[in-house]
Homo-oligomer: A and B are copies of this chain.
Amino acid sequence: MKLREFAQQLGLSPTTVSRALSGYPEVSEKTRKRVAEEAARLGYRPNINAVRLATGRAGAIGVVMGRTGEFHFSEFMGGLAERLSDDDIDILVSPLDEKDPESEIQLYSRLADSGRVDAIIVHSATPNDERIALLHRLGMPFLVHGRSETDVPHAWLDIDNEGAIRRATSHLLDLGHRRIAMINGRQGRTFSLHRDKGYRDALEARGIPFDPRLVAHGNFTDELGFRFARSFLEQTPRPTAFVAGSMMTALGIYRAARSMGLEIGREVSVIAHDDVFPYLTAENMVPSLSATRSSIRAAGARSADLLLQLLAGRPTSEIHELWPVELILRESTTPPQDA
């Protein structure tokens, strides 16, 4: 049913009906109520594409999906979608062709002036992120999940990676560990740098020298967790503890330790960052995994909120949220054997 027909049945003009449904003030309460009731009864719903054309709003926000190591992506999306569906806003997913490194900035560029989205979410930012500069230049609203160090103003939601890893590392130091390896995320990403900093600061506070041979960077896969852990454990003296960037990395470390006959929680301690997944929990690993924890699904939901606020006109400069991270100690962290 079209607006015109519906309005006719009510004996009202399309204008009034449109306003009644959109909650504009210049409609009497009585009329508004009647319109709402009849709309429900007759099943009238405005044509979404006509609305979009008339308002110029896309009614959707864009998310770029990378290809590798993105097992946390669907959790973040889930949170986002959960919150956004209340407001009748769609999520538009664009895949990134990671074979071509040039393509990323082009993809954001295309997405921004495609008119398909009102705002964009930027993931895994770098300290001087080209995408942020681009979107700012184009005037496309966006929220960074994570942070950048660029001068370009940007709304962001991040977790306290630095603090989390500082505490995790400090905890291992408290237990007596002195050779602590870290398997971090992809080099160059802000969150990786923050984690590096947390790690180094914790060491420095104890006067332990930083050893670059104990730090590795890469995607969050069990494969890399295994390979890095393996090569670290082959060093002499070998590290007695690991700080892992993700659950998958931790799986790889567990595997590496086992493959060398080392017992996690006795000969090797492990602490990882856990984004909280319904299908793989730190609690359930054997031994149970000590972890810094922050729900990435909750972050997705909150990102949606912030994006809506941004679109509603709240200034970018106000939208900065830093979430604390829990540290949960379980069986995988114990004092070093030879301490």
Complex alpha-carbon distance, A277 and B68, angstroms: 9
A69 in contact (CB, < 8 A): yes
Check A114 against B48 for contact (C-beta < 8 Å).
Answer: yes
- A interface, by DSSP: helix, strand, loop or mixed? mixed
Q: How far is the CB of A70 from chain B (nearest CB, A)?
A: 6
Q: Are A81's CB and B95's CB within 8 A?
A: yes
Asked if A215 lies at the interface with its beta carbon under 8 angstroms from chain B, I say: no
Given the complex of chains A and B, what is the CA–CA distance between A97 and B60 in angstroms? 20
Complex interface: stretch among A28-36, A161-169, A221-229? A221-229
Chain B: minimal CB distance from A93 (Å): 5
Q: Does A175 contact B (CB under 8 A)?
A: no
Contact of A279 among B68, B113, B281 (CB under 8 A): B68
Q: How far is the CA of A60 from the CA of B48 in the complex (A)?
A: 13
How far apart sit A97 and B78, CA to CA, in the bound complex (Å)? 10
- 1/0 per position for A182-196, CB-CB distance to B under 8 A? 000000000000000
- Counting CB contacts under 8 A, is A273 at the interface? no
Q: Which residues of B contact A208 (CB under 8 A)?
A: none
- Bound: A278/B47 CA distance, A: 40
A97 CA / B83 CA spacing, docked (Å): 11
CA distance A281 to B65 in the complex (A): 20
Query: Which listed residue, B77, B259, B279, B281, touches A71 by the CB 8 Å rule?
Result: B279
CB distance from A242 to the nearest CB of B (A): 17
Q: How many copies altogether?
A: 2
The smallest C-beta distance from A256 to any residue of chain B, in angstroms, reads 9
Residues of B within 8 A of A226 (CB): 284
Partner of A90, one of B85, B92, B219, B222: B92
Q: What is the CA–CA distance of A47 and B56 in the complex, to the nearest angstrom?
A: 10
A45 touching B219 by the CB < 8 A rule?
no
> Which of chain B's residues has its CB closest to A278's CB?
B68
20 additional contacts, CB 8 Å, given A48-B114, A65-B81, A255-B285?
A47-B53, A48-B115, A49-B49, A60-B90, A65-B78, A68-B278, A69-B278, A70-B78, A71-B277, A71-B279, A73-B74, A74-B77, A81-B93, A81-B95, A90-B116, A93-B93, A222-B279, A223-B279, A223-B284, A226-B284
Residues of A within 8 A of B (CB): 45, 47-50, 52-53, 56, 58, 60, 65, 67-71, 73-74, 77-78, 81-82, 85, 90-95, 97, 113-116, 219-223, 226, 248, 251-252, 255, 258-259, 277-281, 284-286
Return 24 A-B CB contacts under 8 Å, by A number.
A48-B114, A48-B116, A49-B49, A49-B58, A53-B53, A60-B92, A65-B74, A67-B78, A68-B279, A69-B278, A69-B279, A70-B278, A81-B95, A82-B95, A82-B97, A85-B95, A90-B92, A91-B93, A93-B93, A248-B280, A251-B251, A251-B280, A255-B285, A258-B286
